[in-house]
Amino acid sequence: MTTYFNSRTPALDGIYTALFLASEKIYAELKKGAGLKFATSSNESGDDQIELDVIADEAFFNALKTDNNVRYVVSEERPGLNKISDGPYSVALDPLDGSKSALVGIPSGAIFAIFENAETDADFNGRNIVSGGFFVFGMNLEAYFADGDKVYKGLFDGTDWTVMPIEGGLPSADVLAINGQNQMVWPEWLQRHYASLLDTRGGTVKPHNMRWYASMVSDMKRMVLQGGLFAYPSANIKGYEEGKLRLVYEAIPMAFLIQAMGGASTNGEQSILEMPVEKLHQKTPVFIGEKSKIAAVEAARKAGP
């Protein structure tokens, strides 16, 4: 008998069961080496798709499409609001995150956000999210998520899930997972104030390790376990003017999880969970991590170049 996770209501239990089941199917495909090559298609964000992007999207969609508590499904790999029923909950998905990294063996995963009473694109915002987090398709199949204000981690042993609360809040570490250190011009306001992101515990600036897995779920798993700062800024380069990560199904669920652990988030000016949503696939600069580092980012943005 496979056990899943008991949420707060039977409606949410059903949605979690569907998500956990789909993650098992995707993980089994990945372990067989299935889908690890480019497809001929691309998605709403303009990303080239690998075959596993499509396999993962279909696994989640098929698991959710018969649930009459699900109103809409939103996915990186599909356009628009996909109507399922008149139920109360909508599920936004990044069905395979870090898909290009999966091609070279870096752990990928899936990101999910459950929104209550969403009716329009604009309703898929940080105030309506009730649960969210991610699966890691790595050495093991794992889950890290916030269900309401409680935070859990899950491990699948091939038959059952063991899900337990994450105690102790967000750790603190001298680690910066920052994109744009290399191939992108960082925004001037951040370049100028970079030193302010570094911890000065004990009065001296501490050396910081740089980490960038190009797989948000991998960078966020390290964030949950060790703390630090994750940053994907916008850049004055074509296609990156609003950053690269998508607000609804990457930034909001990750911000929701890390804020439930006592961390913080910003787009440079306001919490990601406070941002208005215009379009389902809109992009945003993303800074998520320890409160002190997010405060430093917002101070740098205010101070300007």
Residue type, 176: L
Is residue 160 classed as helix, strand or coil in its secondary structure?
A: coil
Least CB distance from residue 112 to Mn ion, whole Å? 12
The entry of Mn ion, ligand AHG, none near residue 214 (CB within 5 to 8 angstroms by kind) is ligand AHG
When CB distances are held under 5 to 8 angstroms depending on the partner's kind, the choice from Mn ion, ligand AHG, none that residue 215 binds is ligand AHG
30 vs 16: CA distance, rounded Å:
21
Considering only residues 97 to 136 of the shown chain, the ones binding Mn ion according to CB under 5 A are 97
Using DSSP's 3-state secondary structure scheme, residue 243 falls into: strand
Instruction: List the structure tokens of 91.
Output: 């599920």
Q: Which is closer to ligand AHG, CB of 12 or CB of 50?
A: 50
Positions 103 through 162 that interact with ligand AHG (CB under 6 A): none
- Quick one: which H or E segment has residue 25? helix 10-31
Report the partner that residue 179 touches, choosing among Mn ion, ligand AHG, none (CB closer than 5 to 8 A by kind): ligand AHG
Question: Using CB under 5 A, which of 76, 121, 147, 290 touches Mn ion?
Answer: 76
- Angle, helices 252-260/216-226, rounded to nearest 10 degrees: 10
Q: How far apart are CA 132 and CA 114, in angstroms?
A: 6
117 is in an annotated binding site: no
Please compute, for residue 16, the number of CA atoms within 13 A of its CA located in the half-sphere on the CB side: 25
The contact mask relative to ligand AHG for 186-225 (x = CB under 6 A, - = no) is ----------------------------xxx---------
Query: What would the x/- binding string for ligand AHG be over residues 34 to 73, using CB under 6 A?
Result: -------------x--------------------------
**Spatial contact of 5 and 147, defined as CB atoms under 8 Å apart:** yes
Inter-residue contact 97 to 232 (CB < 8 Å) = no
Residues 27-66 that bind Mn ion (CB under 5 A): 47
* Residues binding ligand AHG (CB under 6 A): 47, 76, 94, 97-100, 179, 214-216, 232, 244
